[in-house]
Amino acid sequence: MPRLETLSEVARQVLVTFPCLVHETAPWTPLHKPLAQSTLALVTTAGLHRRGDVPFITDPRGGDASFRIIPAATSAGDILQSHASIGFDHTAFYNDINVTFPIDRLRELQERGVIGQLASDAYSFMGAIRNPRRLQEETGPEVARQLKAAGVDAVLLTPT
Amino acid sequence: MVREHAMATKAPRALFVPFPFGSALGKPNDPILQHRVLSASLALFEHQAGPVLEDFPEEESPGPLLQASAVRRRDNAVLSDPADEVTALRGCYERWVEEHNGRTAVGLCGIPQRRWRGVIRFLEAYAHGEESDMKERLETVSIPQFVRYCIDDLKAFYYEARMVQQPKATAEDLHAWFWGETALGQLIPTVAQRMHAADDPTLKAVAYGIAR
């Protein structure tokens, strides 16, 4: 999430004109128990998936709003990135998956007892979705349903 | 996503991390920084009301993200055939995989590396406007998407090999090398040009994602 003023004029204009949703209120839900007793799920918009999964596609109609499930036990070597954008430096991900999908760091927090439990599944979406309708009406609520069914108390969302 | 987007959407709890796109946790292979980011993120749960938008106090300013159009070619430094380049880089790539416990970002197109000379010929034919395909392409994957997956795999292969050759290279060095000195870095923009020339929004969108 760079500061706008650090970007090129072209990149800045792309972001300033991005059709971002504008909300008047925030859906505030308190965490009802300490993190150390909570189940935390990792959700990302980095366009990640397991090796062998169907990659994300480049969809000019507003973006690929589908999602992939990544079991938290998946090894880093079996996670790929098919994000359609070259607007960010992919070499960071080549070097260390945790720079965008901090699965090893969260396992460490679980071992230290900072979080109660890491959810058994992580979820991955594509970023840069210009038309969020399907995300809002279908895939987003579906992931929320699955998270609730799995007893997840809190979510850490990592954007690109 | 930028800070202004977090403000507009009113995410209930958001931590603004002034890091480059694609690096929400700061820097690769820096678990201490990554834990500081996580600690600041999880601390947002302590607030009793929201929305909350806090700023992470450390900053990693993004360097210039070099794209193909911004790099001057140095044609005296390249092998002329990207297929020969792939062969020449394979040893370094295999060292990368070995040194990273088998981890590689290569794997989207599903084609084994012994067939990558064929992938190069496929991309060359595509760039020249010929009807080209590979038998490994699944029917459910369109040719333009398949082209992107092949190119994304080749990019990962090249960069991972180069990081073995030049372990201290910055991201800027790597992009300057790829787009300025490799034969593949010359071929990919010609693939994108063919896509841009078509009156097809999907092709144009794919082109924008493989070379600018």
List chain B domain ranges: 3-55, 68-210
Q: What is the pLDDT of residues A93-150, one digit of tens each?
A: 999 999 999 999 999 999 999 999 999 999 999 988 889 999 999 999 999 999 999 9
Query: pLDDT in tens for each of the 212 residues of chain B?
Result: 788 888 889 999 999 999 999 999 999 999 999 999 999 999 999 999 999 999 999 887 767 788 888 888 876 655 689 999 999 999 999 999 999 999 999 999 999 988 999 999 999 999 999 989 999 999 999 999 999 999 999 999 999 999 999 999 999 999 999 999 999 999 999 999 999 999 899 999 999 889 98
Amino acid A2: pLDDT: 81
- Ranges of beta strands (E only) in chain A are 39-44, 48-50, 67-71, 79-81, 117-118, 121-125, 154-158
Tokens of B147: 């082209």
| Cβ separation A89–B22 shorter than 8 A | yes
**Nearest chain B alpha carbon to A4:** B2
In this prediction the pTM is: 0.94
In single-letter form, the type of residue at position A30 comes to P
Interchain CB distance below 8 Å, B22 and A100: yes
Helix (H) or strand (E) holding A77: none
Strand partners, A68: A124
**Any CB–CB contact under 8 A between B3 and chain A?**
yes
B62/chain A closest Cα distance in angstroms: 7
Contact B182, B78 (CB under 8 A): yes
Q: Are B148 and A58 in contact (CB under 8 A)?
A: yes
- Give B-chain residues touching A84 at CB under 8 angstroms: 148, 205-206, 209
**Residue that wins the pLDDT comparison between A153 and A62:** A153
Contact status of A15 with chain B (Cβ, < 8 Å): yes
Would you state the pLDDT for residue A86? Answer: 85
DSSP A54: P
Which residue from A143, A41, A53, A125 is spatially nearest to A83, judged by alpha carbons?
A125
CA B212 to chain A, closest CA, distance in angstroms equals 8
Token digits for B35?
Answer: 């834990």
Confidence of residue A10 (pLDDT cuts 50, 70, 90): confident
Q: How many CB pairs under 8 A join A and B?
A: 197
What pLDDT does B77 receive?
56
Do A20 and B20 make contact, defined as CB atoms within 8 angstroms?
no
> What single-letter amino acid sits at B144?
P
Residue-level pLDDT at B113: 87
Q: Collect all residues of chain A within an 8 Å Cβ-Cβ radius of residue B201.
A: 60-61
